[in-house]
Amino acid sequence: MIKEIKLPKLSQTMEDAAIVEVIVGIGDEVKEGDNIFEIETDKACVEVRSEQAGFVKHILVEPGQVIAVGSAVMILAGKDEQVPQKLIEQLKAKLPRLQQSIFPDTGKANNNSITFESGRFIAGQHIKPGAKVPLNNLQKITAQKMLRSKCEIPCFYLNIRVDVTELTEAKEKLSEKAGLKLSYNDFFIKAVAAGLEHFPLMAGKLAGEFIQLPQTINVGLATSVSDCLYVPVIKEADKKSIAEIAQDRARLVEKAQRHKLAPEDLEDAGITISNLGPFGVDRFIPIVIPGQCCIIGLGRITDEAVADNDKITVRKMINVTISVDHRIANGSYASEFIDFVRKFLQDTSNFR
């Protein structure tokens, strides 16, 4: 029996995807559940599993081709079954014409300036002036979302300084107790999740004349990998211990580094944290992701002289900046929320 393998809808926002790689070849046997091709959606690079079994008779798409949900990708049939040429031509005619692939034609770009691995671009150390670096599908979607945010979301910005001296001192002991290496991101995820329990509007979403509050408290963590920016989501972070948050964060970051995040790993964040401290950034103003109320930007931790009871002591301080959609929360409410986060972080008993 002839079977069409189509591009599935993997998330509520997915309308199309770019073909990154076709894993199988003509004549290969495909079993139900086998990974058969890889795509790049508006959220992540994902391997698609076959819901059908058979032998690959024809592949209709090429790497770099952007196709709509429901479009045929390949044809399966019995081992000795023939597929009418008319059917192949009809299915190909429904696909958008591939005028120029979003991926290079070869494994190496010109001038050895950019390399290409499975549909992803990795910048080299010596990109020559004047070079044209193609955007992948995820970069294009990110650009569209950020432009929409700046045009449609009226934001205000708050900056606080958090004393993490005690937290820094407790971090190693807490890591040893948890049996894994904790990161500062884990503590901020926990603190933000606790804050959302008390200030739920900060995870609200504007829905017409209403503010829709989420059913669960989920925290996104902006994660940069080569040319891609992902926001994997720690689900129900308010119900998890610091060790459980660390385990989830490590698992998701590892998947992001391999470009193997599933759509469900990237959905339903009520708030996002972006940390540029490891890159030496002191302070920055992040852009709110459309569909969320706010985003928190973390700078690097620095040693600073602080007055304490007529004495000068050296404390470890971090700049925390929050960008807030003014349509959902006002300055007073957001200030109380971020102050709660600050106090939560400074009391290390919250993480034991």
User: What are the residue boundaries of the structural domains of the chain, listed by start?
Assistant: 3-93, 152-351
**Strands (DSSP E) found in 199-310:** 205-207, 210-212, 219-221, 223-225, 228-230, 233-234, 271-275, 294-308
At 98 the pLDDT is: 55
Q: The whole model's pTM is what?
A: 0.79
C-alpha distances (whole Å) from 41 to each of 17, 107, 121, 196, 238 are 5, 21, 15, 29, 29
pLDDT tens track for 42-83 = 667 788 999 999 999 999 999 888 899 999 999 999 999 999
Count of C-beta atoms within a 10 Å radius of residue 243 = 17
Distance CA 37, CA 72 (A): 12
For range 318-343, the mean pLDDT: 98
Q: Is the pLDDT of residue 138 over 60?
A: yes
Percent of the residues in the chain that have a pLDDT greater than 90, as a whole number: 67
Confidence category of residue 17, pLDDT binned at 50, 70, 90: confident
Report the length, in residues, of the chain: 352
Identity of the highest mean pLDDT range in 94-98, 116-120, 279-283, 304-308: 279-283
Residue 102 clears pLDDT 60, i.e. is over it = no
Inform me whether the pLDDT recorded for 309 exceeds 80.
yes
Residue 289: how many other CB atoms lie within 10 Å: 23
Distance CA 270, CA 293 (A): 8
> In the prediction, which pLDDT does 336 show?
98
> Which residues, 6+ apart, have CB-to-CB distance to 326 below 8 Å?
154, 155, 156
pLDDT for 140: 78
CA dihedral 268, 162, 315, 280 (to 10 degrees): 50
Mean pLDDT of 186-215: 96
SS3 242: helix
The answer to whether residues 270 and 179 touch, using CB atoms and an 8 Å cutoff, is no
Please report, for the chain, how many H helices and E strands are present, in that order.
Answer: 6, 20
The domains spanning 3-93 and 152-351 adopt the same CATH topology? no
Residue 335, classified by CB atoms within 10 Å of its CB into exposed (0-12), middle (13-18) or buried (19+), is: middle
CATH 2.40.50.100 fits 3-93, yes or no: yes
Give domain 152-351's CATH architecture: 2-Layer Sandwich (3.30)
Between CA 231 and CA 138 the distance in angstroms is 12
Residue 37: exposure state from Cβ atoms within 10 A (0-12, 13-18, ≥19): buried
Q: What is the mean pLDDT of the chain?
A: 88
Query: Can you give the pLDDT at residue 126?
Result: 54
